[in-house]
Homo-oligomer: A and B are copies of this chain.
Amino acid sequence: MDFLSEFLTLFLSKLQSPTLGFLIGGMVIAALNSRLTIPDSIYKFIVFMLLIKVGLSGGIAIREANLAEMLLPALFAVIIGISVVFIARYTLAQLPGVKTLDAIATGGLFGAVSGSTLAAGITLLEGQGIEYEAWSAALYPFMDIPALVTAIVLASVYAGKQKREKYRKNAEAISKGEFSGMQPAAAGGYASEAAVPSGGYPTSDQRSAEGSFSGGTGGGAGAAGMPEDERVKIWPIIKDSLQGSALSALLLGLALGIFTKPDSVYESFFNPGFRGLLSILMLVMGMEAWARLGELRKVGQWYALYAVIAPLLHGCIGFGLGYIAHIVTGFSPGGVVLLSVIAASSSDISGPPTLRAGIPKANPSAYIGSSTAVGTPIALAVCIPFFIGLAQATMGGG
């Protein structure tokens, strides 16, 4: 078949890119127990540099963009972010030995977006000379925030249901005159657990004044178990997500791109180093992915399977919806690829702390292991070249 062979050729040629070479190099280096490391401060600064560059170019583009064009892709980004969590809830969570809260948190992380993967996608697109709307990068928060909010809300609803169940059984037991000495201790356990994560928030005062979000899914109810108090306030989750270092850097870049005239500093500083810094970031991510393999092994093969399939599946949803936008509003082939890449990526920097605070009972080894050790490498090494090839084969973008 002509289409398939053309697609395969395009796909394979992308695998030789230096960006992916550094990723694989990082894995090999880690596998060989090398003592080579990139200092943490350098790593953080590189991430900052990449995201502010992506933000700046997006902001500069938005200045001249027709904002109406952004509406459909942004809506699709929101839909994908929410869907990904529900997919995890009704696939991964159903598998044997997988705890529902862990599955929801994993879905949240895979729905959230990785700035590094986005940056790698942009680099490969540019390497292929494929045009894309620079504001596509601004789709990031439209997928990232809904995914994290959905995950935390879903987890809270699930935990609430569990508790009501328990409370009902307990009430029945009490009415039957059974011994219930265990109950107060358990409730005390809830309360003390709930106290821990809220300390991790930068501005917990306001939130605890609101009273209904104290400690995510685990808390708030107290011994009496009042289900009405279980409502999750959504604004604190959004705020927490926006305050994360990755989204902050991206939005700062966007704002500076829109409101100041950073073109000279962008051209002389942020843009030229982009590819190089990205290659170093890829190295770190490769090393990190290898280091996290052990954690993934602890939580079992279902997570590994999910982490292999999910980026491809989510990317295909992104590609499909992006293709609709391509037909309806003329969304560029490169933009479709970036929407797919954003969908395929899973958050590795800012997502985990938000989830740790929002779903304190979920096991971080499960979601961070799946995302960092498998999901991100798959998104980088398989999905990006795959969707670029697919775009070229279907829309002739290159």
Instruction: Give me the interface of A with B, judged by CB distance under 8 Å.
Output: 16-22, 25, 28-29, 32-42, 44-45, 48, 127, 202-203, 242-245, 248-249, 252, 255-256, 259-262, 264-265, 268-270, 272-273, 275-277, 279, 283
Contacts and interface: CB of A to CB of B under 8 A. Distances in A.
Query: Interface of chain A, helix or strand or loop or mixed?
Result: helix
Contact of A248 (B34, B39, B259): B34
A322 B308 CA distance: 52
Contact of A256 (B18, B38, B275): B18
A170 B340 CA distance: 77
Given A265-B279, A269-B276, A279-B265, A252 B39 contact: no
B33 A262 contact: no
Nearest to A266: B18
7 contacts: A21-B256, A28-B252, A28-B255, A33-B202, A33-B243, A35-B244, A36-B245
A41 B38 CA distance: 8
Give the 6 A-B residue pairs with the shortest CB-CB distance, closest first.
A269-B276, A21-B260, A39-B41, A36-B248, A34-B248, A18-B262
A393 to B, nearest CB: 22
Which of A20, A203, A276 has the most chain B CB atoms closer than 10 A to its own CB? A276
B260 A270 contact: no
Contacts of A275: 264-265, 268-269
A116 to B, nearest CB: 16
Given A41-B39, A245-B36, A25 B276 contact: no
B203 A33 contact: yes
A32 to B, nearest CB: 7
Contacts of A279: 262, 265, 269
Nearest to A18: B262
A252 B35 contact: no
Contacts of A37: 44, 245
A256 B22 contact: yes
A45 B42 contact: yes
Contacts of A17: 260-261
A106 to B, nearest CB: 23
Contacts of A45: 38-39, 42
Given A39-B44, A45-B42, A203-B33, A270 B276 contact: yes
Contact of A265 (B264, B270, B276): B276
A56 to B, nearest CB: 9
Contacts of A244: 34-35
A271 B41 CA distance: 23
B203 A25 contact: no
A202 B268 contact: no
Given A45-B42, A276-B268, A259 B33 contact: no
Contacts of A272: 268-269
Contact of A32 (B18, B22, B33, B243): B243
Contacts of A25: 252, 255-256
